Structure formats: structure tokens, C-alpha cells
Structure 1
Amino acid sequence: MPKIQNLQQLRAEIQVLRQKKIEQELYFSQKKESLQEAVRSPFKFARKMVNFFSGGKANEIQADWTTAMLRFAIPFLLNKTLLKGKGGIIKSAIALISQKAINPSLFNQATISGLVDKVSGWVSNILPGRKKKEVDYGIPPDSETS
């Protein structure tokens, strides 16, 4: 600490100390904000992940039984066929992604049944059709009925 000999030096030293005080307050407030952000960061990440996997929509269309079944069946089918022999991390990541991809607006009972009807109509047009024999079990026209 410098030796103060007169009033001007005292005032200059007071000014220097005030400046140091302002700098230190700024430094510590920045450190405090940085520490708070570091503490909040995992919670923000978790909230973003929950919003991502839940769809993040409050007014989402309610899932019917078809959507629920597909959310279970598609990851199961992928694990048994395409992902056979792959690691657990890959399987769980694919399962999470497919859970997110199957949303009720795209995969519901009406759209799936419409798709099945289109495919069955397409298949019946492609395959050679079998003609049914005409069977009439009604009364023959030349019979005697009164």
C-alpha cells in the first residue's frame, strides 16, 4: 500500500480503490451468473429432452389403440429383424426415435385402415381374379307357385 502524504494522494487512492471495487463487483457478478448457468444447464437439457420425446405439444391428438400398438410393435419388429446383433445403445436409440416418429396424427386407426384398404384393393387388381360361380337359391322362374 502506498504511503499517502497529502489530501490529493488520498483522493486519488480513494478513486483507485473505488475503481477496483467496481471491477471486482463486475467480475464476481459474472462468475455468479456463470455458475448459475452451469447449475441450470443439466435441467435445461433434461427439459428439452422431455419436450422432444413427448412431442412438446399440449393440444396433441389423443392416441388410439392402433398408435399405442405401433409404438410397441415397430421397435420390437426392428429389434428382431434389422437390428439383430446390434448393441443395446443402438437398439434403445432407434426405439426412442421410432416412439417419437409414431405420432397420432400420422398413425391412427382411420389412416391405417385406409392404407390397408388401398393396399388390398391394389393387390386384388394385380392378382388374377377368381370368378365365383353364380349360385341362385331363389325360386326358379318357371316353377308353379300360386
Structure 2
Amino acid sequence: MSRKYNINNLEDLHQQVRLLKAEYRFKGDALVGDSKKYLHQFTLGAFIKKYATPSAFLKIDDKFNISSKVMSLILPLVMNSTFFKGSGIVTKALVGLASGKVGKSLDAEHLSAIFNSVRSWFSKSKKKKETDPLDVDYGIPPDSETY
């Protein structure tokens, strides 16, 4: 890139040198800042911030079905060790097959919905409906003269 400068005397030359040095420092600082931002995106903290969010987990789970695979392994173990503890081998095998199939159909969205519904059973409803003072019905029809 060729630049044409209008330099007529020594003072114009010194002014142009100062301008070019200032531009050099500015571009150098901008280059260092941009390279730090670029390298910062590859740090461990940036990866955690980018991929360790619930929405990112749901995207990964949609691709690989991690939660359904885990649930198809854990659910039969939990069912056989808690509810069907004293059952025979045939009952445990049938429960294992059935709960494995149910576990494969569960994904992260279903699990979060189940968790929220169970949590709502145990949490107390602190929100009471408060009637608005303007909506109180005193039994006076809106057409009456006292309204």
C-alpha cells in the first residue's frame, strides 16, 4: 500500500513521523488486545463457560442422548435394589428389561419436567392470589347511579 504525503519542509516531516509513530503504537496495542481476546477463548474457563450451561447440555444431549443412556443403565439398578429387593430372578429380569426400555425413552427435558413436578409437590405454595382493590365486587351494578 503506497501512501502519498504532502511534506514541504522539515516541520511537516517531523509531524508526519510523530503521526506514523502514534499510528504504529495504536495498531500494535490493538493487535495485542485482539490476540489476547482470541487466545482467551481457548482457555479452560472459556470452555467451561461456553459448554457447561444447561442449554449447551440439552444440545449435546439431543445429539448423543447421554441422559437416556445413563437412565437406561441406572433405572434398572435402582428399581431392583429398592422396590424389588426380595424378588426372584425372573421378576428382577423383567423389571430390568422394562425399566431399561423406559430409561431409553427419557431424555433431559423429560427428566427436568419430572424433577420440577416432584419439587412442586413438596414446596409450599407461598403465592396467594390477592384480589386487586379495583376488582372488588360490592354488589352494585355498573349501570346504577351510585357507581
TM-score range, shorter chain: 0.3 to 0.5
Bigger RCO (CA 8 Å, 6+ sep): 1
Tell me the TM-score normalized by structure 1. Answer: 0.36
